[in-house]
Every structure is written in structure tokens, then in C-alpha cells.
Structure 1
Amino acid sequence: MNGAKWWAATIAATVVVAGTVTTGVVVQYKHALTHQAPYKPIEPARGITALTDKGTTNNEALRSTVGALAQDPRLAGFAGTIVDATTGEVILEKDADKPLTPASATKMLTATAALYELGPDHRITTDVIKQDDHTVVIKAAGDVWLTDERLDQLAHKIKEQMPSVSAVLVDTSTWKGDKILGGWDPDDVNAGYVAPLEPIMLYGGRIGAKEGDVPRSQNPGLDVASALAQRLGAGTKGYTDSANGDVIATTESEALEKRIFQMMQHSDNVMAEAIGREIDAAQPVQATLRILSEHGITIGASEVADNSGLSLHNRITPALLAQIATKVATDPEVHSLILALPVAGGSGTLVDRYAELDGRGWVRAKTGTLTGVSALVGVVPSISGHIYSFGLISNGSEIPEARAALDTLASALRDA
């Protein structure tokens, strides 16, 4: 599918997503989260015929417009890069090589590298091993997307091979390194933003819920062993660092493409860290940056501490974010990431934004939010049919005000 036709198909999908009913996050500070009532469907975005025939656009006028918007005092410490992905022209470079705190915009690096390295159809297989006549070991492999239904199926398979099981152990040794990373707040687990990093979890380690920012378990791997033990009638559960024996049952995750969609829509930190370790279990951040570099993306002065953006040690340049957004817009290997990005006014973390802006239903972008940090990285098709990619970061700002200014800036690209 050529670029123009692919974009037409993508934006057609955008129209569909923009009309769905979802639940939106209003403001997510580092230790505060509030929710709105279910979102009402918006009107479908306007026609997409412009995407199949690229028209002319006045990028000089656009430079003037976005240059003025980039001076908005609500953005405080702002840096940004905007590129006409159709022509390669740079539209805005404001401190483009200055590394700032990106928050969850970091997830763009992780998702892009994963698609390059693993492909959209990659799945995680978790084996259950018969250690002795009455003991099974779950060989954790990085699947933090386990559900009750999949555990039920796994228990059924095990019972067919071993009618009597008295102990269920879990081997979490496949992931190396710390379970809580540098720059994470110790309260993040209880606040529901992340769980200690173990390579198997039921519903991302959530306690008493299947989704949302609810408190997470301190021992998510053990929780899986306990849940399986309950289904098997086993009284003993625990950790082990070895799994020797025959595989008697397996469970397989959904395809990477679908898991990335979930991660990006909900900005899920556990999923992002798991996908990073799916790339490389021992050195996920280093592998992520290496893969991006191998695909022509310049890392520059960026310093990355984790795969989710939760770490306060992350410093990423707008130039790097814009390069990734441009790759997503132009490289077929990572095109599918477009459909994972939240739609302005329509889905995910952008569901309650762009209420009166022209970018509503057209801008697709990953958000980033920490205390004093607002970021936006993504793409938007203009009325003329050009595709614009952008990486925008605001530090030291008030979140609602900075978000409004970023949304206005991105919407200006739609009008080009």
C-alpha cells in the first residue's frame, strides 16, 4: 500500500475510533488521578479525500504560526520539533536538541524499537514444567497480560497431565536487574502506576481490579502462582530460581501489535517495561536505543533510564521524539503504531482534550504527564494532505495550561 493510500486507511480508522465511547483521565499528576464519566461519542471527523492527493501548503506561513504559538507562556520551559513528514521540511526547531523530562512520551521509543526488532505478530509463550510428580513450575517469560480466563485454560491443561498437584512454583529469573528502577517514587506501586518488575503478572499486578490505576501487588509473580495453585487445589506456592523437567502446558500472549495498542492507549507503565524486556531481558533500555540507532534515528543528548517514562531521570530531546514520529509516518515497518496512538477527543489519554480545536479527531499522539511535565508526540494530516510529525515537551509548567497550549499547537498543523 503506498503512503497516501495507507494514510487514507489510517485516518478512516481514526474516524471510527474517534466515535467510540471511552473513559477519560482528566489530570494525572504523579500522585493524583481523577476520572471523568464515560465519554460521549463525538461527531465523525471530516472527509479524508485530501489524503489521497497531496496538495500544496504554505509551510512558511505555518512556520510563523507555530513559532508564535511556541512562545505561549503557559508552556514555561518548552522545546519542540515539527517536521513536514511528506516533504522532510523542518517547520519548528525550538531547543530541539535540549533534553527535557519527557514522562510517558518515552513509550514511543519502546514501542517503535519493539516493532522494529520483533514485528507486530510476536507473542510471549509461558511454559508450565513438571518438576516432580506433585510440583509444577511456571517458567515466567515476560507475560504481564495474564487474565483469569487464560489461567483457567492453563489449569485445565495441567490437570489433563497431572491430576494431583500439591505445589505451584514460579521461576522469575528471566528478567535481570532491579525490580524498582532509579527515579521511580517508592509510592508508585501503591499509587497504581507500576508494579515491581517480575516477568509474569495477572492483570499487570493489579490488586482487586482488572484495569486502571489501582494499587499494585508487591509480589505479582507469587500472585500468579497462588492463583494457579487455587485452581489446581495445591496448598503450596512460592518462588524458585530453576525450572527443570518436561513442559506439560503453555499459554500464549496476544500479538505484540495488540499489546502495544493497550499500552499506548492507557499509558500503562507495567506494559511498557515488559515490552522493553521483551526486546532484551537484561538490558532493555540499551537495546531500545541501539535498535533505534540502527534504523537511522539519532539519539543525541538524550539520556534514558527506563522504558515507560516513569523515571524522573529520563531526559529526551524533542528532536528524537520527532524523528520517531516521522519514522512512524513514513516507514512501513512501524506504520501500525499510528493506530495505537490516542486520538484527539476520541480515545485513550486524549479522550477529553481538543474539545473545540480543529485537531479533534485528526491528531494522533502519545501524551506524557508528570508533575510539572507535559509532552506530546505524534502525527496529524493537514487539510492540504501533508502529514506533520511532532515532538513537544513542556517542563516546569502547570499541567492543564500546558496541555491546552500543546493541543493548540498541534491543531495548527491540521489547518496547514
Structure 2
Amino acid sequence: MKRKTQVVATALLALGGIYVLTDAFDLTPGLITTRPVGDTAQEYPSIEPVQPANISLPSLDEEAPVPSTESVSGAITEFAEDSRLEGEPSVQVIDTLTGEALGGLNEAEPRVPASNEKLLTSVAALETLGPDATMDTTAMLADGTLYLVGGGDVLLSAGAGDDSAVTGHAGLGDLADQAAEALAEQGTSTVDLAVDTSLFSGPRYHPDVEGADTAYVMAMSPIAIDRGRSDSGYSSDPEGDATQAFASALEGHGISVNIVDPATAPEGSAEVGRIHSASVRVWVDQMLTDSDNSLAEVLGHLVGIKHGEAGDFEGGAKATAEILTSLDYPMEGVTISDNSGLSISNRLTTDLQVGILDNAYSCDGCNLEAIASGLPVAGLNGTLGDRLAEDDLGGVIRGKTGTLIQAVSLSGYLYTDSGRLLTFSVLVDDIEEGNAPGTRQVIDDFLSSLTDL
């Protein structure tokens, strides 16, 4: 994995100190010129400005001094010896522009990563599915039965789609419009309707995710309206809900619909409608910003299928490991069990996380650009929206978070006060129950100390 030093340029607009992104990785003027907060699919890479409130922004300075290895190692030692720290830590810090290692602790020690796992899923999805790929939902007709065929889009709208949105980019109402027109041309006014979920197989939840943990992810299905979410949580039958919505839309066109048991559309079925999701790059962006477990697992299933494995948790995990290995990432000691990070069987290293972030930053026009733009920004959005905003750290740190009962992680980029950009990864596991919030605070304090160097 060769490093290609990138010259990062930014422009300060005259109005109100608003910055506009000019580099393809959405990393400067700090970590704050990201896509606007909200469910909007921007033309990628996005160049829409974001005005953070009360955030003083540093400027990237390629001539700024690189923090000494002594100072970084000293900060890492203080972190590891902090009496508030619970669990076993691994840390790695490099200079982003040069790739120079500045300090580390247990860099090759495998740790439970929590949602830092989503960095691996991002690489696998972008490299295997492709940034511009979409997930298509189709309506197929055979022998008087209409099949609603799930193609992996779990962000459907029940009604009309919205090309400017991520959630609801494709709408079942639009699919019904197409199908109803085709049925009318054939003189058909009555159909049986079956949902086809054969794209995915295996269990609805990962074996490690049970009980109360199922509240954090949808029941796996290749078709759903907004991940099957409602005010009361996730639906136990997301494909059934989608089928009902599709049937209602068809009935609005005067089609009489009889919903039958789920079935696979037979070979030779005629396509009578097709809608498509927002692109994989936009899904990855949203998955990382919001740490969306459902999108991560769906992308993992799709990666498994594309790689020749089954469309299930095991296939997604196996494919992800093989893809990262083929890309020469450091995989020694790494265990991939799921694609969201909810599984406690996952094991990652800071070596791997820094390697991914290093490539995401240094690539020029490559598939990984969505990773940097999707990382949450301290004090601004996503899972860092309410973290690290104090002590002038808002907008200075961008990273992928992760929290389980026994593990806390944060990997990303930060600016020093002098304007030097650093890449870091912190993984802590074996935390006693109840101590994860305190461990997060120790990590935040450590990163604050790095910005002072």
C-alpha cells in the first residue's frame, strides 16, 4: 500500500467564515466540511459547505512541525497509566502526510472493535460492489403472480421516491406505478402478490446478537421500508410491511391484490418494474456517520454474494476477510464475525485500522473516498456530534466511534494546534460492565492531549 502524498487545498469564503470543500476526500479545512447534517444524497464528493456553530477551525499547514515521537509516546503512556482507564488498550498514531509512525502501544494486539468494524465493511463494499452500484428492487410477473423481489434496498419509501434523499431514494409507490401500467396493458386487474427474499439466506440476526441487542439492528432482509423502523423500534417482518405497502399502492391503481406466501420468482418471469437505491458510496457515508448497524450488515450480505459466498452473516464476514487480505492489509490476528461490530467475536488491530485510514486519505480518485467523508465530526454530526466539542476540539477530530458493554474504540484523524494532521486508532476491550462511558472520556482526553502537541 503505497502512500501518495496529497496536497490538500481549502478556500475560505468571505461570508461568515464558511469553508467550502475543494479536495476529494472531504478532510479539510479540518474535519468539518462534510456533507450537511440530514438525510440528503449529495453529488459525490460533496462540496456543500457546513457552518458549525461556535467552532474555531485550525488550518492545515504542511510545513507545521511533526510532533516528536517522544511527545506522542509520552501522551500514550499517560493514557495507558490513567487511573480512570478500564480495560486493555491498543493505540497507534502516525503523521498523516508522511506516514511516519509517531507512537504506539500493543498495535498488533487483537481487540474487540465494536463499531470500528464498519471501517472494514466500508472497504469491502466500496472495493467489491463499487462506489456507484445501486440496490435494485424489481416487480416480476409470471402466471398471474406478481413478485416483489428484494435486491438489498432496505431504505425504501412506502410511497414516492426522492432522488435527493438517501432514505426513501426509491419508492414502492413508484414501483407500483410501473407495475400497474404494465398490468393494464395486459388487461390484468387481479394478481396474487408474493415477496421474494431469496437474495439473503441464513439467520435474521447474528448468533452473537440476541435478546435486548436485537434492538440495535433490523431483522435481516433484502427489502424493507426505512430498515423496518418505527417509533417502537424495528419491525419483526420488514418484508411483510413492504409487501403490504406495495399492495396498497397497487390497489390505488384499481388492481385487486391477494397477498400470498413468500416465494422465489421463477426463471422466465417478466420484469414489469424497477427502482434503485442511492449509491453504495452514499450508503457507506451514512453508515459511518450514523454508525448504522442495519446498513452495515446488509452491505456485508451483498459483499458476500458478490464475492461468491452466501448472502448471510458468515458469507459476509468470510468475504470481507478475503477481500482485505487480497488488498494487502495487515490481517494477522484479525477475526471478522459480522459486518456491524455488534458481535463480540470480532477482533481487530490498530495496525489494520490505521492502514485503512491511511489509504482512505492518500488515495487519489480511488474507491475509498467515501470513508473519509463519512466519518463523524466532533461537535458537529453523527456519533461524535455531542463529543469532544469542549476545549476547542469541535471540528478538529473526525473518527469512527465504537461502543459495546466491554469495548470502546475511536479511529480517525485529528489536527494539532499547529496545523499538523495525524491519523490515530484507539481500541480498548475487557472493560468491566458499566465503565464504558468513563473509558470514552479517557480516550477523549488523550486525543485532546495529542492536539496540543
TM range (shorter): 0.7 to 0.9
TM-score, normalized by length of structure 2? Answer: 0.80
Q: 1:58 aligns with which of 38, 42, 67?
A: 67
| 1:408 Cα deviation from its structure 2 partner | 2.0
Output one character per residue of 1:36-82: Cα deviation in whole Å (capped at 9) or x when no partner. Answer: xxxx953244242x34x342223222222233223223332212222
- Between the aligned partners of 2:343 and 2:376, the Cα distance in structure 1 is 22
Q: 1:297 aligns with which of 319, 329, 354?
A: 329
| 1:16 Cα deviation from its structure 2 partner | 4.2
Output one character per residue of 1:350-395: Cα deviation in whole Å (capped at 9) or x when no partner. Answer: 1111132343202111111111321111112334444322221122
Partner of 2:102: 91
Is residue 2:243 matched to residue 1:225? yes
Partner of 1:287: 319
Partner of 1:182: 207
- Between the aligned partners of 2:373 and 2:383, the Cα distance in structure 1 is 14
Contact 1:104 1:309 in 2 (8 A): yes
Contact 1:363 1:411 in 2 (8 A): no
- Between the aligned partners of 2:261 and 2:293, the Cα distance in structure 1 is 26
TM-score, normalized by length of structure 1? Answer: 0.86
Is residue 2:423 matched to residue 1:389? yes
Partner of 1:197: 220
- Which residues of 2 match residues 273-284 of structure 1 at below 5 A? 273-281=297-305, 282=310, 283-284=315-316
Contact 1:138 1:169 in 2 (8 A): yes
Q: 1:15 aligns with which of 20, 23, 32?
A: 32
Partner of 2:47: none
Partner of 1:36: none
| 1:345 Cα deviation from its structure 2 partner | 0.9
Q: Which moved more, 1:333-342 or 1:63-72?
A: 63-72
* 2:281 match: secondary structure: helix
- Between the aligned partners of 1:6 and 1:304, the Cα distance in structure 2 is 37
Partner of 1:364: 398
Partner of 2:290: 266
Q: 1:159 aligns with which of 180, 196, 211?
A: 180
Q: 2:446 aligns with which of 409, 413, 416?
A: 409
Contact 2:282 2:370 in 1 (8 A): no
Q: What do you get for the CA RMSD once the two structures are aligned?
A: 2.5
Contact 2:409 2:427 in 1 (8 A): yes
1:19/1:232 Cα in 2 relative to 1: closer, same or farther (>3 Å)? closer
- Which residues of 2 match residues 299-378 of structure 1 at below 5 A? 299-332=331-364, 333=366, 334-378=368-412
Contact 2:35 2:373 in 1 (8 A): no
Is residue 2:137 matched to residue 1:126? yes
1:347/1:236 Cα in 2 relative to 1: closer, same or farther (>3 Å)? same
Output one character per residue of 1:237-261: Cα deviation in whole Å (capped at 9) or x when no partner. Answer: 4311334411110010101111112
Gaps of 5+ in 2: 11-21, 40-50, 161-170, 252-256
Alignment size in residue pairs? 389
1:365/1:172 Cα in 2 relative to 1: closer, same or farther (>3 Å)? same
- Between the aligned partners of 1:96 and 1:371, the Cα distance in structure 2 is 22
Contact 1:136 1:165 in 2 (8 A): no
Partner of 2:18: none
Amino acid at match of 1:410: L
1:54/1:171 Cα in 2 relative to 1: closer, same or farther (>3 Å)? farther
Output one character per residue of 1:99-118: Cα deviation in whole Å (capped at 9) or x when no partner. Answer: 22111110111012211223
Amino acid at match of 2:335: E
- Between the aligned partners of 2:350 and 2:72, the Cα distance in structure 1 is 19
- Between the aligned partners of 1:12 and 1:237, the Cα distance in structure 2 is 55
Partner of 1:37: none
- Between the aligned partners of 2:327 and 2:57, the Cα distance in structure 1 is 34
| 1:88 Cα deviation from its structure 2 partner | 2.0
Partner of 1:81: 92
| 1:129 Cα deviation from its structure 2 partner | 0.3
| 1:294 Cα deviation from its structure 2 partner | 2.0
Q: 2:263 aligns with which of 240, 257, 261?
A: 240
| 1:180 Cα deviation from its structure 2 partner | 1.6
Contact 1:18 1:346 in 2 (8 A): no
- Between the aligned partners of 2:183 and 2:217, the Cα distance in structure 1 is 35
Gaps of 5+ in 1: 23-39
State, as a whole percentage, how many aligned pairs show the same letter.
29
- Between the aligned partners of 1:263 and 1:240, the Cα distance in structure 2 is 30
Contact 2:152 2:223 in 1 (8 A): yes
- Between the aligned partners of 2:148 and 2:68, the Cα distance in structure 1 is 57
* 1:129 match: secondary structure: strand
Contact 1:19 1:44 in 2 (8 A): no
